[in-house]
Amino acid sequence: MAKDPVRVLVTGAAGQIGYALVPMIARGVMLGTDQPVILHMLDIPPAAEALNGVKMELVDAAFPLLKGVVATTDVVEACTGVNIAVMVGGFPRKEGMERKDVMTKNVSIYKSQASALEKHAAAGCKVLVVANPANTNALILKEFAPSIPEKNITCLTRLDHNRALGQISERLSVPVCDVKNVIIWGNHSSSQYPDVNHATVATPSGDKPVRELVKDDFITTVQQRGAAIIKARKLSSALSAASSACDHIRDWVLGTTEGTWVSMGVYSDGSYNVPAGLIYSFPVTCQNGEWKIVQGLPIDEFSRKKLDLTAEELSEEKALAYSCLN
Ligand SMILES: NC(=O)c1ccc[n+]([C@@H]2O[C@H](COP(=O)([O-])OP(=O)(O)OC[C@H]3O[C@@H](n4cnc5c(N)ncnc54)[C@H](O)[C@@H]3O)[C@@H](O)[C@H]2O)c1
Ligand SMILES: O=C(O)C[C@H](O)C(=O)O
């Protein structure tokens, strides 16, 4: 029997990530090729005409799984009945800026959209915040939507996770699908800690650790990859961000592969001595639509410092966000 359609909200849908993301969702990349979807696209009034153009293209592409499109500048209409919300709307950073430099503009958006989601989304709606500063926007959304369970509010660090897999694949000249279990700890910012201590590469004689093989500037390359893309494109990453957003939701909803974990920005419960109450990127596995932090990984002294450093930045961002909202 055909499945009922799932309603997926994409905010900022007229922007560059939105333009890359909505066809992926309509093709089944996010929720599976047997899952019909209804797309809800939100943008602001100055982008209304462009948003309508995106809607026209979605109609023209005749995606078999796409059962409807809502394109609107009305946040209530956009949020009504949605099962999944991908929050991309906001302002991207430009060359020379840190992600927290877009804080003032973006956190106030997340405060106001929190209440619309809380009041109008479907029960159990899963939220992914992509717009920067992603962890702190997600935290603001969580705090101003207190009735949405904290387990349902996450932010995107899967792009950093995928970048780390890509770097290992390039450095070791192995297919990216053979590499697994990197970890992005902490903030989606240059303080993040891309950790290869537990990563492996598949070989004919079993999985082998990559720790000793990946050295040099691996950590800074991953930390600075967003800035490198902005320098090269004069625009921030879009196709890789959209693809990683699909990976994040797909694994959350459909589950991670046995023996593999992924990185997600989730509400900290104090695991690994990360202060509770931050949205922090951890290694997680997913099953039955729920994520769970991978427990018990040994953390060496070098890693401990890195985990703490990025947690400190997130605590500072949280304070800054609140000062912007006052
Ligand atoms: N977490 C990640 O891995 C990651 C990766 C890439 C980009 N980003 C971030 O994603 C965000 C979007 O990037 P982009 O390149 O698509 O930017 P963009 O400027 O091309 O698009 C953003 C869109 O958001 C819209 N918008 C602004 N305010 C809005 C509001 N209140 N409600 C709804 N829509 C609104 C804009 O009109 C625009 O269409 C940026 O903050 C960027 O820094 C995050
Ligand atoms: O770096 C940025 O500002 C955009 C995005 O967060 C990225 O990592 O590509």
Encode 290-304 in three state secondary structure: EEEECCCCCCCHHHH
Is 132 marked as a binding-site residue? yes
Q: How far is the CA of 132 from the centre of ligand 1 (A)?
A: 8
Pocket of ligand 1, beta carbon within 6 A: 11-12, 14-18, 42-44, 47, 88-93, 102, 109, 130-132, 134, 156, 159, 188, 236-238, 241
Catalytic status, residue 161: no
Q: How far is the CA of 87 from the centre of ligand 1 (A)?
A: 8
Strand runs labelled E in 99-245: 126-129, 153-155, 179-180, 183-185, 193-195, 200-203, 206-209
C-alpha to C-alpha distance for 16 and 235, rounded to whole angstroms: 9
Instruction: Report yes or no for ipTM above 0.95.
Output: yes
Is 106 marked as a binding-site residue? yes
The verdict on pTM exceeding 0.95 is: yes
Tens-level pLDDT at each residue, the chain (326 residues): 789 999 999 999 999 999 999 999 999 999 999 999 999 999 999 999 999 999 999 999 999 999 999 999 999 999 999 999 999 999 877 778 776 778 887 888 999 999 999 999 999 999 999 999 999 999 999 999 999 999 999 999 999 999 999 999 999 999 999 999 999 999 999 999 999 999 999 999 999 999 887 877 999 999 999 999 999 999 999 999 999 999 999 999 999 999 999 999 999 999 999 999 999 999 999 999 999 999 999 999 999 999 999 999 999 999 989 888 87
Per the listing, tokens 């900022």 go with 12
